[in-house]
């Protein structure tokens, strides 16, 4: 099976090609900045987006795809679970 999108340059707006489980941590940033996240269990996420300098609380994220480019997802205060980074 071939990659029918393989001729597109990779960018923040192209479909994700990898998924990585997210283990929230209060100081360790994500290994790679994802294009988006998938939330498997609804709840809040406390974290920092790629250009933020302070933590933000994203309240009541529903199950599903969220085009948010987190560099840090904190354990403290995060109630969402089964989070997957998509890049």
Say whether pLDDT at 1 is over 80.
Answer: no
Say whether pLDDT at 3 is over 80.
Answer: no
The answer to whether residue 45 sits within a structural domain is yes
pTM of the predicted model over 0.75 = yes
The answer to whether residue 27 sits within a structural domain is yes
The answer to whether residue 64 sits within a structural domain is yes
pLDDT of 12 reads 77
Residue predicted with more confidence, 39 or 2: 39
Q: Which domain holds residue 46?
A: 19-86
The answer to whether residue 14 sits within a structural domain is no
Task: Grade residue 83 by pLDDT with cuts at 50, 70 and 90.
Answer: very high
Interval 13-62: pLDDT, tens? 788 889 999 999 999 999 999 999 999 999 999 999 999 999 999 999 99
The answer to whether residue 11 sits within a structural domain is no
Question: What are 20-25's contacts with CB under 8 Å, separation 24+?
Answer: 20/84, 20/85, 20/87, 21/83, 21/84, 21/85, 22/73, 22/83, 22/84, 22/85, 24/73, 24/74, 24/75, 24/78, 24/83, 25/72, 25/73, 25/74, 25/75
The answer to whether residue 12 sits within a structural domain is no
Q: How many domains does the chain have?
A: 1
């Amino acid at each position: 099976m071939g990659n029918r999108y393989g001729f597109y340059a990779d960018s923040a707006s192209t479909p994700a090609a990898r998924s990585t489980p997210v283990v929230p941590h209060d100081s360790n940033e994500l290994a790679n900045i994802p294009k988006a996240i998938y939330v498997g269990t609804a709840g809040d996420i406390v974290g920092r987006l790629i250009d933020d300098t302070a933590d933000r609380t994203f309240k009541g994220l529903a199950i599903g795809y969220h085009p948010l480019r987190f560099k840090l997802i904190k354990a403290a205060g995060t109630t969402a679970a089964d989070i997957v980074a998509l890049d």
